[in-house]
Structure formats: structure tokens, C-alpha cells
Chain A
Amino acid sequence: MRRFILPLAFALIGLILFGQGAYIHAKALVAQVLLERAFTQSIATGQLVKPWSWADTWPVARIEVKRLHASAIVLAGSSGQALAFGPGHVEQTVDAGQPGVAVYSAHRDTHFRFLKDVTIGDEIDVTRSDGKMFRYRADRSAVVRFDQSGIDPITDKYELVLSTCWPFDALTSGPERYLLHATLIESGS
């Protein structure tokens, strides 16, 4: 029986690691379902609704790229905990539809996996929790360091930036970020 101990130990560790990885994806998927429900309720009632009772964040917007059938509910704040459940609205940036740059960030391997398929010219729809929808057009992408984003937060243009880690298929996290810049083309419906 001793000859089974080593392979079984490997199998166990392997399963735990795989499970943890799967858990991250599962959490991202399940949370989005709950968030979608809370967000719909937010729009209907006009009040901020927490997705589950002990959450300390709440949905603030929905990002949609119709061409790719991709959609995600954005949470307030971009702390590590919030990003596990959905894209985060980066602190100190404006809301969508306000003059300035609205910055949304999400993990490259969960909610913003679709970002690598977005091409220049794609339309990105952002629905705020007050029900107003703003349509942006992607006009530029860039790869920057996380602390040198080059984002000018007090511009008077209406801009949107979606950010995620770069490169897309790397296994470890690095200092580089991929930015997709978009400009408002239609607002307020």
C-alpha cells in the first residue's frame, strides 16, 4: 500500500488547487447572477440594492458589448474583494455619462475576458443604476504600467476606460495593464 501514498498525496494537492481555481471562476459566475438580480431591482426601485445581505458593495452599472454578447455588472470600488464578484468602478473617477473619465477594472480571466476580443469601433453600452444608458465607442487601446496610467481624470470630455491585466494569457500577475479607451457617442436614454 505504501506505493499508493505518493500518487494519492499528489492527487489530493492537485485537486485542492484545481478546486480553488474553479472556485474563483464559480464565485465570479454565481455572483454575477445575484448582481444582475440586484441591479435590475436597483433600476426598478431607484434605490441601491445590495446583492446579498452581508455585502459591503453594490452594483452601480452594467457594461455590455452587444457584438460579443458580453455583459457584466459593475460594483462600487475596486478593492480585491469587489473584483472577485464583478468589475469595479475605480475610486475617484466619475460616473459614466459625466464629464471626465469613468474607469472600470476587472480580472482578465473572468469578467473582462471578452476585452481581448473588443476591437476599435465596437460600441460599449453602460447602463447606470438610475436606468440611464450611455453608448461609448472604443477608439484606442494602450498597454501601460499600473501606476502610470496616463489617464487624465479631469478632462472635460466624456470618456470611458476599461482596464485589465496584460498580457491576457499570462499565468502570473504583472505590473502591466491593458486600457481600452472609449468616447461617449450617445447618452441619456
Chain B
Amino acid sequence: MTIYDACESSPQIRLSRRMRIALFFLVEGVAALAIGFAALFVSFDPVWSAELPQQAVLRPSDARSGSLLFKTDDGYKDALRLGIDVDLTVSGPTVRARVTQIFRNPTKDWVEATYVYPLPAGGAVDTLKMVVGDRIVVGDIKERQQARAIYEQAKQNGQKAALTEQERPNIFTNSVANIGPGETVLVQIEYQEPVQQNGNEFSLRVPMVVGPRYNPRPVVQSVDLRADGSGWGATTTDPVPDRDRIASEVLDPATNAPVNPTNITVHLNAGFPLGEVKSHFHQVKIESLDNTTRVVKLAEGPVPADRDFELTWKPAAEKAPSVGLFREHVGNSDYLLAFVTPPSVEQAQQKQLPREVIFVIDNSGSMGGTSIIQAKASLLYALGRLQPTDRFNVIRFDDTMDTLFPAPVAANSANIGNATSFVSAIQARGGTEMVPAMRAALSDTNHDDADHVRQVVFLTDGAIGNEQQLFETISALRGRSRVFMVGIGSAPNTYLMTRAAELGRGTFTHIGSVEQVDERMRDLFAKLENPAVTSLSAKFSDATADLTPSALPDVYRDEPLVLAAKLDKLAGSVEIKGRIGDRPWSVTLPLANAAEGKGLSKLWARRKIADAEVARTTRQATPEDADKTILALALEHQLVTRLTSLVAVDKTPSRPDGEPLKLSELPLNLPAGWDFAKVFGERPSLPATPTERRAEAGDGKVQLAALKRSPVATQSPGTIQLPKTATDAELKMVAGVILLTVSLLLLVFNRRQTSPQ
């Protein structure tokens, strides 16, 4: 019956069913859209908070989007920008470096820029060039005060001027006056440096950033009254009189993009077939031109100046050449540079003296982050290497100091265990009062004991401003102790390390990453455990020589003796004598066979200047005499020193009268791996207006190319990642339509099946 009924009334029913289906679709569609719109306004809070942690992970590079809230147009425009290009040419024993700093002024004001930057401690700065538009102005060497006066005068006159001053042998300041709105000025300095050698390995180092220094506070209350009772005295002077000159603004990496992009190119011409060439802290591309030359470039284009660049190379042969002799003729004189590596005598042949080793570890705030990890790993390695016959002690210091044992103790397992847990518990914080720690390490309680060799192993990043006080302490108290400096971190103070090691008759080892700890500490222990080459002397058979270093230092295993000399004639030979342990050793080098070298006169002069500075520290020469020697050498060889500066002035005035000049000190990056809060204390809860200061390495490329013979390295593709920019809207809509069609077909199909009955 029902079936019959259905057949009878089928047209109406079919129609109403279609209506119903259509209505159903309509209602569904409206409902879907309504739900969608409601979700837009209602349901987004929880979704976004769930996504927020992702954003936190993106920092610090992502800091920009968060900082836009505070960013003002003025803040942006205040920023002077800087790009750096370093071009190094290694020819045999020497490195010639050309550092180009590109100052760009995007502001509407006339600006004076100052930039504090590091150079290798042994570098001899001899050239300053300033490029304005298509004019190149070459700088002259002048006494420091005079150079400053010339610069200030030019600044007043509205002329463009550049000034290079030395703050420390490894810290320099460039000042550039009158950079006009929208202008770019290039400042280029050049320096000469000897290649470093250690055993089979040659190396060069380009420091890129001056780490923030700890400057002890002056104690103004204490007055030294003269002993004669006349009542006259002097207040104790500030330990760091020039603290303002070596301190720059340091950007917090958490709220600022890195600044000061740097490009590095090394033309390596070793002079012998090359084996492994390696960059330790930067990704590089190495091109091989022939078997003795390589071109090394940064693989990823410019990098922020926040860590040192280190390149090492080894000869293809098993053994590095043990002797190198180079000469240069300048004026009426010949200059000689000699590298001699004494043979290493095997331990078995020598009776090894037991040692008394004092380990000193710097746990100040500047060591926070990765540095303290490296320092602790190095110290734990060293503790493991001690022999039962050795004695040792451990001192840790920040602005406080702890000595583990009251006096050095035997290196038995109980004491070592004690020391290991002491070292493991050390945390980095506080200031860096290095002088009391060095004094404690050098206080020799059993100095009559001739059975032990006394060694001080000092682990630090050297981030202090009162280097001179430390040097004075070492030269006054060293006694029979030898000081071995271990430089830790991405940007250690190499001047402090090398000079302290020299005064302490030890060596300087640098550890820049945790991976280097094992290898470098093994090298250091080879030096500590093997007898040094002592009582060294050099004698020229025919020539009259002015030799430097004037007192030849002791040489440790795998190290070369480096000599520089000024000769009246290049004739005869030089004989170098010394003792390895208790055995005499000597070698004779014929001078006529020396190879041609470049810039050796500058290296000789730089080394003589360092000698004079050492003599001043050790009071072997009066300050006046030392200064006179330094000034004469600097003016003759055109070098920047503590007493001389390079100054370049553009003759054409550019800043109109009446336009004010603003001073802009360029900020520095925090060295990589440092912990901002540990150095500067906790951040204020509201960050200071973070301004975008990303400098551009590409600026002034055209001018740079005109200045450099080799073209500027092209930048590799950027690292900008593009976001995903497709939604699945269309896919979903298409799928939805397909499903709807299928359901419609099914309905129709069902209907057809039933209708014939």
C-alpha cells in the first residue's frame, strides 16, 4: 500500500524532497559560514598564546619584530653605520693586513665618528688612508699631541679628517670628523705582523672585537706620604687613567641585531708546499691556486665582529722547516728576521725535575657563558696530567679570591680529588681583580727548594684595563717562577697574554673553543714537562747588529726563537747558542742565503719599541729614556705607538660654517659566548629603546674597489628564509564541493532506484 501511495503521489513528493535537500544545503552552508565568522572574533586568544613560545625560540635575531613597538624614526636615524673589510696577505714569514672601515652616515646631521677596535699585539701600524668621494688622503705620522691638535683644528675648520691612535698595543681608536649627511667615508689602515709558529703549525689571528674590560676603581683616599717626614706626598693614581678611551657601548645581543659586519680575505703564500689549512671559528671557502698558495674567504659572506678569526696552516711535509732566514734592504741598512726551532730532546734522555704548579683560574663575570666551561675543562685536564711527585695548588679569583690549600700540596689522589670538586663548583661572576691573584700565585713559600721547577698556569680572558699594574707585579715578584698564560674565549686580550708570558718567561696558549681544550692543553703540557732551551745568545761574525729582543727569551718545546736584527752589512753568519736542559746546543746560519722578505724593518722597529716598553716596566730604563727611544723609532719607521698617531686631513673644507657636529661612538658586539648579564648586571626590566643599527658591508663598494687592487669579494646569497605562503583554503573548498556533489549523486541514485516501483 505504501509503495502504491508513493508511486501515486511521486511528482509532488519528489519536488518537496528536492526542496528539502536544497534547504538543507542552504542551512548547512549558512551555519558553516556563521561558525567561521564567530571563530574569527572569539576563538583566537587561546590559539595565539599556544603559538607564543615558538616566537621566543626565534630570539635574538627575531628581536626586531618585538622592538618595533619602541622603535622611533629618530632612534633609527641616530645610528651611524660601519662595515669592515679585512684583507690579509701572507708572504712567507710576514702578514700584511689592510683593514678598511666604511663609515656611513644615514642621518641628517654632520657627524664625528669614533670606533675602538683591536689589532694583533705585535702588529706594526704604518699606513692610514682616508677616501672621500674619489679623493684619497694619505695620513702622516706625528707625535700624539701634535696629531690630536691637527685633527681638532681640521674638525673646527669643517674639513674631513681621520686620526688613528693607540690606546694599548692591541687597542686602537679611529676618529673621523665631519661625515656629512648621507655620506660614506672610508678609512683604511695597514699593518705588518710576523706569522706565529708552534711546532708544525703556522698561524695568524685577526682580533675583531674589544671585550668589555674590568677597570679597578681608583682608591683616592690613600695617600703616600714621603718617608722623610716632610709632609709631602701624592695620592695614589687611578689604575686605569684612560678608562673612557677603551670603553665603548656594548650592545645586548638579546635585544639587538649584531652590528659591524666584517669581511675577511686571506691571500696565503706560505713559501712551502701546504698541507692542511684550517679556520677555527669561521666557515671559510679555500681556493687552491698552486701547492704553496691559497685564497681563503668567508663562506657565508660578512660576519658580525664578535669573535677572533684564526687561520692555521701546516706544511705538506712531515716536519716543518726548523730554520727560516729572511732579509730586507731599507735605506742604508739591512734587516734580518730569523726563525730557529731548536731540536726537541726526548724525555727519556733527560732526568725530569718534579714541578710545583700553581693553577690560577679567572671566574669573573666576563668569563661567563662558554669561557668558564673552557677554563674549567682545561684546568681539570691539567689536574689529571700531574705526576705523584709534583706539588700543586689552585687559586680562583673574581673581585674576591680563594686559595684551595694553605701551601702547595703533593699531587696524590686525595688532593687531586679535592681540587677537582673545588674546580667543578666554580661559577662565573663579579669583577676581575687580577693583580692580587697574580701576587698570591707568585708568592713562593719554599724558594730554597731547588728540586722543584716552579710554574704558574694562569687561565683568563685578560679582560682588564690595568694591564700595566699586572706587568709590574710580574716583573717585581716573578723570582724563580715561570708564568704560562692560557687565554680563554672568543676574544681574549692577546697583548696582556703575550706580554705577561714574556715578563714571566713562559708561553701563551690560546683556547678559543671547548674542542680546542685537549689539543692545546697537550701542547702546553709538552712545554711544561720538557726542558726549555735556556741561556740563548746570538753572535754575528762580521756584521754589527742591533738585535731584538735584546735579552733572548727561553724557548719551550716546539716553539721557534724569533730574532730581528738591523745590520750594517749583509755578510758572514750568525751563530745561535743555548742549552737544552744540561746539554749545549748551537746552530750557524750563513746570512748570504737569506731570502727576500717584506716589511721586516717595520717588524724590527715594532719589536724594539716593545723592548723599550718592557724596559720601562721593569725599570731598566727611565721612563724619559724609554719614551725617547720609542719616539725616535716610531718617527723613523712611521709607526703608530703610545706616543705617535697617524693623522689625515682633507684640504677642502666640507662642513659649512654654523652647522653643528655630533659625536657618535660606534657600539660594539658582546664577544661571542659571553653572558651579558654576568658582565653588566641584570638587564633593566624595560629594555632601552633598541634601535636598528645593522651596518652595511656593501657600502661604498665602488670607492673600496678603487682603493684595493683586488676586487671586493662578492657577497654570497643572504640567509633570508621565506615563510610558507599558501593556505589550504582552495584545497578544502574543492574537496568540500566534490563531497557535496558525491552526496547529491548518491541521493539522486537512491531516488532512481526506488522510483520505478
List residues of chain A with CB under 8 Å of any chain B CB: 3-4, 6-27, 30-31, 48, 52, 54, 56, 58, 60, 76-81, 83-84, 88, 90-94, 99-101, 103, 105-110, 112, 130, 144, 146-156, 163-165, 170-174, 177, 179
Contacts and interface: CB of A to CB of B under 8 A. Distances in A.
26 contacts: A8-B743, A11-B28, A11-B740, A11-B744, A16-B32, A17-B733, A17-B735, A17-B736, A19-B33, A21-B728, A23-B35, A23-B40, A24-B727, A24-B729, A26-B37, A27-B40, A30-B37, A83-B725, A90-B723, A93-B720, A149-B718, A151-B717, A151-B718, A154-B302, A154-B697, A163-B725
A174 B724 CA distance: 8
Contact size range, B: 35 or more
Interface of B: 24-25, 28-29, 31-33, 35-37, 39-41, 44-45, 47-48, 51-52, 54-55, 58, 61-62, 64-65, 68-69, 73, 106, 257, 261, 302, 692, 694, 696-701, 715, 717-744, 746-747, 750
A10 B746 contact: yes
A154 to B, nearest CB: 5
A107 B725 contact: yes
A23 to B, nearest CB: 3
A19 B746 contact: no
A3 B696 contact: no
Given A19-B33, A26-B36, A91-B65, 8 more contacts: A4-B750, A8-B743, A11-B28, A18-B32, A105-B723, A107-B727, A156-B699, A173-B726
A18 B722 contact: no
Contact of A92 (B29, B701, B720, B726): B720
B718 A76 contact: no
A15 B735 CA distance: 9
Nearest to A147: B721
Contact of B729 (A25, A48, A52, A152): A25
A14 B727 contact: no
A121 to B, nearest CB: 24
B36 A22 contact: yes
Given A90-B720, A156-B699, A23 B750 contact: no
A156 B183 CA distance: 13
A18 B718 contact: no
A19 B29 contact: yes
A7 B696 contact: no
A17 B739 contact: yes
Contacts of A81: 47-48, 51
A172 B728 CA distance: 7
Contact of A103 (B45, B722, B734): B722
B68 A60 contact: yes
A92 B106 CA distance: 19
Given A90-B722, A156-B701, A165-B726, A18 B106 contact: no
A112 B724 CA distance: 13
A177 B722 CA distance: 8
Contacts of A76: 65, 68
Contacts of B65: 76-77, 91
A132 to B, nearest CB: 9
A163 B556 CA distance: 60
Nearest to B731: A171
Contacts of A4: 747, 750
Contacts of A91: 58, 61-62, 64-65
Which of the listed residues B715, B723, B743 has the most CB atoms from chain A within 10 Å of its own CB?
A: B723
A146 B699 contact: no
Given A21-B729, A92-B720, A151-B718, A14 B746 contact: no
